[in-house]
Amino acid sequence: MKLTRSALLSLTGGGLLAGRHVAAQPGNQMHRRKIPSSGELLPVVGVGTWRTFDVGGKPEDRVPIAEVLRLLFEAGGSVIDTSPMYGAAEAVVGDLLTAANARSKAFIATKVWTSGRDSGIAQMQASLRLLRTDRIDLMQIHNLVDWRAHLPTLRAWKADGRIRYLGITHYTQSAHDELERVMRAEKWDFVQLNYAFDDRAVDQRLLPLAAERGIAVIVNQPFGGGGLLRKLSPRKLPEWAGEIGVTSWAQLLLKFVLANPAVTCVIPGTSKPEHMKDNLQAGFGVYPDAAFLKRMVAEITT
């Protein structure tokens, strides 16, 4: 990967801390970062459910997913991100949390993904039923679909206590201009967006804007849609990765994302317990400083 001078500066300056960044969580617990609108602390590594949790009702299909959630909670994590567009994922999350009596451990983020006020209400009511809960921690307008129609409902539901936070999402760079306009136009608790070592467009405008406007950031596609991780996996991990306690490429890429203090939480998706266990390690220890990031840029090419 060839990087221009401006791209390098965006990695080593801007929103990144001058020294090695350590979150404020003591001991062996996962780091947590503040949700700006409330001050609540949120664990920095969660799990996404797109494709990975879309399984049937057979117990053998759900066993590994139940273990993924157990590992998440055991490490001090809580964020589970899902959506009505993810097939059976909402129902799987609801069933497994109920079976494990673990709803209180979870920060459930789901979405509304339809056009029209009434359709949005019906879809969100269905999500409550599928997730087996009377309150959603974070309701997001998925890919900005008909956001003006849904925002009044989200505000009313927040006032009633049906949801705790409201937000917006997108996952493509082509939508960043619109995402910026919406972030500026209204008050949001959260924005969810795409950010990875090989997908850094949000460094320039959206992450600084989120920090400026007090919007928490959830990062999706932290492995660049998986392509970058697949390319790097056959390679030997550089020895210098050990300087920040990293033992895998997945951890290194997640710590790159978490090096930006505007990022609140990252949600790599998996249904494999061994991958979940590996990903969770990015929630501990130190994060790259400017010098470390410069070394990453110089030595990681794809």
Tens of pLDDT, residue by residue over 41-96, are: 999 999 999 999 999 999 999 999 999 999 999 999 999 999 999 999 999 999 99
Residue 21 has pLDDT above 60, yes or no: no
Residue 5 has pLDDT above 80, yes or no: no
pLDDT tens-digit profile of 124-136? 999 999 999 999 9
- Range scoring the smallest mean pLDDT among 15-24, 82-91, 256-265: 15-24
Tokens at 286, concatenated: 């130190």
Helices (H), the chain: 5-12, 59-74, 89-99, 117-131, 147-160, 176-185, 206-213, 227-232, 249-258, 273-280, 290-299
Residue 14 has pLDDT above 80, yes or no: no
DSSP letter (8 states) at residue 77 = -
Query: Looking at residue 300, what is its pLDDT?
Result: 85
**Residue type for 227, please?**
G
Domain that residue 76 falls in: 5-299
Overall average pLDDT of the 225-251 stretch: 91
Query: Looking at residue 228, what is its pLDDT?
Result: 86
Cα separation, 262 vs 299, in Å, equals 25
Query: Looking at residue 175, what is its pLDDT?
Result: 93
Q: Chain-wide mean pLDDT for the chain?
A: 91
Cα separation, 267 vs 97, in Å, equals 18
Query: Looking at residue 259, what is its pLDDT?
Result: 97
Tokens at 75, concatenated: 């490490």
Model confidence at 6, pLDDT cuts 50, 70, 90, reads: very low
Model confidence at 28, pLDDT cuts 50, 70, 90, reads: confident
Query: Looking at residue 15, what is its pLDDT?
Result: 37
Number of domains comprising the chain: 1
CATH code assigned at 238: 3.20.20.100
Overall average pLDDT of the 11-28 stretch: 42
Measured from the Cβ of residue 13, the count of other Cβ atoms closer than 10 Å reads: 12
Query: Looking at residue 16, what is its pLDDT?
Result: 35
Residue 149 has pLDDT above 70, yes or no: yes
Model confidence at 266, pLDDT cuts 50, 70, 90, reads: very high
Overall average pLDDT of the 106-132 stretch: 98
Query: Looking at residue 301, what is its pLDDT?
Result: 66
